[in-house]
Amino acid sequence: MRRDLLFAAVTARAPDNSEGAHLERLQGIAVSPGVAIGEALILDNEGFRIPRRFVQRDAVEAELARLTLAVEAAAAEVDRNRVRVAAELGDEYAAIFSAHLQMLNDRRLRQELEDMIRTRHYSPEYSVSRALGKYAKVFQSLDGEYMAERANDIFDIQKRLLRHLLGSSRQELAQVTSPVLVLAHNLTPSETANLNPQFVMGLVTEIGGPGSHTAIVAEGLGIPAVVGVGHFLTDVSGGETVIIDGDQGLIILHPDEEMLARYRHEVEEQRTLAAKLETLRDLPAETTDGVKVTMLGNIEFPAEVQQCEERGADGIGLYRTEFLYLGRDDDPPEEAHFAAYHEVVQAMHGKPVVMRTLDLGADKMRTMPNPEDERNPFLGLRSIRLALRNRDLFRVQLRAILRASAHGTIRLMFPLISTLLELRQAKMVVADAMEDLDEAGIPFDRNIQVGMMVEVPSAVLMMDRFAEESDFFSIGTNDLIQYCLAVDRSNKDVANLYTAADPAVIRLIDMAVKTANAHGRPISMCGQMCGNPLYTMLLLGIGLRSLSVTPAAIPEVKRVCRSVSIPQCERVAAQVRTLETARDIKTYLKEELSKVFPEFPV
């Protein structure tokens, strides 16, 4: 059957199930805990933001005219492509564009779109998204590769129409002005960096893994998030009520009243627990036998300092500085760096701030050409490697950090150090920056501590040598897990292998802590692992006494610290060392935590 005739047959029989859709549960990967209930804001894989917008009765005719213009513009665009391809390759190859023209001009489709605008007062954008999404889903449900290709035809038409209706692609999430749950194919680092936490109440993406940038930012903002759900955006429309269960990794579409009532109760329970945990704000993270645990906060943006202060953080254990580079067409100048760093240092009132230098890949920076043959960015030009390759850019950041150090307590930290030579080269650039400031008469802390992240197995294996040249260490479990287990932390297809509970990962952490302690070097942990209360007793039992977590996780982790003794934690660590699989370790840790907090969500 010809494409256009096949489409006509589907439009004739496709059910209009836009109203009264059945409850649907989708399983993804839980990356940030909590429950969120709210209105969906959809970003498809081209980034079109398609809200459920209604038009006023007196604006219906104008909206119909706008739809007509969009259809005509899309048809003209398709026809130009058809003519060009026919001239270059022949009519056979241009047939697909002829079919697209037939679909665009299909009377049934046009009538359905007009009816949605006239009778339901849907906007043209929402009508196009709703109607064509429904037809694409019908094709996807049919067997055979040929039918799947027809779904792609529908999506192509949908995107053309939306492009002409909306006039642009991705709209800034920072411009959202009402509470929403963002459902997207994926979010770029610059988009996640520009999220407005006042209105974005939860996140879901079709792709991604537990260590993806989206996951890290969501956890930092303290909003529920689920990633790696798979293709589902055609099953939901903007404005519909959606539930995000960040504890179980569930997305619930079209929830009924019973389901909504159940989850609203959970939200209330979370608020009650949060209120109880607020009483810990001014209390130390001290074990029952009097051992003090330094509780630090991880931040991505200067504004997050307030969240750390509100939760009683002892300082900032990880200040990610990447946000300054994202979403820009140029490199941030020194003054932009200094302003951000100075703001954080001033807000912490003398408490320590650990600033990590640039930790991005060249593929994420607009000012740099994508490296040739960069098939795996995690193994390529990123972090300290990128900084050392671009020393002028590196020196700008270091000068700003050093300048800010004159106004508070700053510790400087390098990411992804894998060899002694890298550490030495990075420290040489610091020395150069200090010399520059000296010559200019600009004050800075001459005794600033310079440390490194422990994120790759080579750093653990060589830690006795690193301890001679590094003032302190911080274990970054997100990357350490990835490199230890050879698992791409943003790939949902291997997400089941990415776990902090793997015995090999725990052995590396154990080895790192023992070596650092033996050489009298302070060691902390700033990865996602230590923000999960499930691992608190294990980490204390291994010997860690400094933890840096997202602001939202501080009260829960502090609560565990204040409820256990070090001998108790050491017994837990000893037992974990005897276990052989991640599943056994997680099960055991859950059992031990439930003995302390029977009601604790794990």
Return the pLDDT at 239. Answer: 78
Return the pLDDT at 52. Answer: 62
Tokens representing residue 535 in the block: 């691992």
In 355-367, which positions are buried (b, 16+ CB within 10 angstroms) versus exposed (e)?
Answer: bbbbbbbbebbee
Q: What's the start-to-end Cα distance of the chain, in Å?
A: 54
Return the pLDDT at 83. Answer: 85
Q: What angle do CA 249, 253, 255 make, to 5 degrees?
A: 105
In contact, 497 and 485? CB cutoff 8 Å: yes
Higher pLDDT, 553 or 167: 553
> pLDDT at residue 410 above 90?
yes
The rounded distance, in Å, linking the Cα atoms of 75 and 190 is 34
Return the pLDDT at 253. Answer: 92
> pLDDT at residue 169 above 50?
no
Tokens representing residue 18 in the block: 């836009």
pLDDT digits (tens, 9 = 90+) for 92-144: 667 777 888 888 888 888 899 999 999 988 888 888 878 887 787 777 766 66
- Region 554-562: what's the mean pLDDT? 95
Lowest mean pLDDT segment, chosen from 101-105, 154-158, 167-171, 530-534: 167-171
The rounded distance, in Å, linking the Cα atoms of 525 and 6 is 58
Class of the 3-21+53-166 domain? Answer: mainly alpha
Q: Is the dihedral of CA 425, 427, 431, 433 positive or negative?
A: positive
Which residues contact residue 5 at a Cβ distance below 8 angstroms, ignoring those fewer than 6 apart?
Answer: none
- Per-residue pLDDT band for 601 (boundaries 50, 70, 90) equals low
Higher pLDDT, 144 or 594: 594
Cα separations in angstroms, 465 against 255, 315, 486: 57, 28, 25
Return the pLDDT at 5. Answer: 57
Nearest to 401 by CA among 393, 392, 391, 411: 411
- Per-residue pLDDT band for 197 (boundaries 50, 70, 90) equals confident
DSSP 373: T
Higher pLDDT, 55 or 551: 551
pTM of the model: 0.74
Return the pLDDT at 371. Answer: 59
Return the pLDDT at 465. Answer: 97
CA 560 to chain centre: 26
Nearest to 287 by CA among 516, 569, 553: 569
Return the pLDDT at 494. Answer: 84
CA 405 to chain centre: 30
CA count, 13 A, side-chain hemisphere, 73: 16
Catalytic residue set: 213, 526
Return the pLDDT at 77. Answer: 85
Nearest to 323 by CA among 146, 193, 483: 193
- Per-residue pLDDT band for 189 (boundaries 50, 70, 90) equals low
> pLDDT at residue 343 above 90?
yes
Q: How many CB atoms lie within 10 A of CB 580?
A: 8
pLDDT digits (tens, 9 = 90+) for 209-244: 776 767 777 877 788 999 989 888 877 877 789 999
> pLDDT at residue 16 above 80?
no
Number of DSSP helices (H) and strands (E) in the chain, helices first: 22, 16
The domain segmentation of the chain, as residue ranges, is 3-21+53-166, 24-49+170-255, 283-596
Indicate the SS3 state at residue 586.
helix
Lowest mean pLDDT segment, chosen from 170-174, 296-300, 312-316: 170-174
> pLDDT at residue 580 above 80?
yes
The rounded distance, in Å, linking the Cα atoms of 102 and 118 is 24
Lowest mean pLDDT segment, chosen from 296-300, 327-331, 532-536: 327-331
The rounded distance, in Å, linking the Cα atoms of 567 and 573 is 10
- Per-residue pLDDT band for 80 (boundaries 50, 70, 90) equals confident
Strand 316-320 versus strand 353-356 pairing type: parallel
CA 121 to chain centre: 35
> Which CATH architecture fits 283-596?
Alpha-Beta Barrel (3.20)
DSSP 35: E
DSSP 581: S
The rounded distance, in Å, linking the Cα atoms of 135 and 153 is 10
Nearest to 80 by CA among 160, 162, 165: 160
Mean pLDDT across the chain: 86
Place of tokens 């930790």: 359
Return the pLDDT at 136. Answer: 76
Query: Dmax of the chain from CA atoms?
Result: 83
The rounded distance, in Å, linking the Cα atoms of 299 and 136 is 42
Above pLDDT 90, what percent of the chain?
A: 52
pLDDT digits (tens, 9 = 90+) for 17-74: 545 567 889 999 888 888 999 998 887 655 555 656 678 888 889 999 999 999 998 8
Sheet holding 241-245, edge to edge: 24-27, 250-253, 241-245, 35-43, 180-184, 200-205, 225-227, 29-32
| Runs of H (alpha helix) within 167-212 | 189-193
Return the pLDDT at 194. Answer: 66
Task: List 410's β-bridge partners, or say none.
Answer: 353
Place of tokens 């909504």: 260
> pLDDT at residue 600 above 70?
no
Tokens representing residue 574 in the block: 């000893």
Return the pLDDT at 112. Answer: 92
Radius of gyration of the chain (CA): 27
Q: Is the dihedral of CA 390, 395, 400, 406 positive or negative?
A: positive
Phi-psi region of 262 (alpha: psi -120 to 50; beta: other; left: phi over 0): alpha
CATH of domain 24-49+170-255: 3.50.30.10
Tokens representing residue 422 in the block: 């890298």
Q: How many CB atoms lie within 10 A of CB 230?
A: 10
Higher pLDDT, 328 or 73: 73
Indicate the SS3 state at residue 55.
coil
> pLDDT at residue 327 above 70?
no
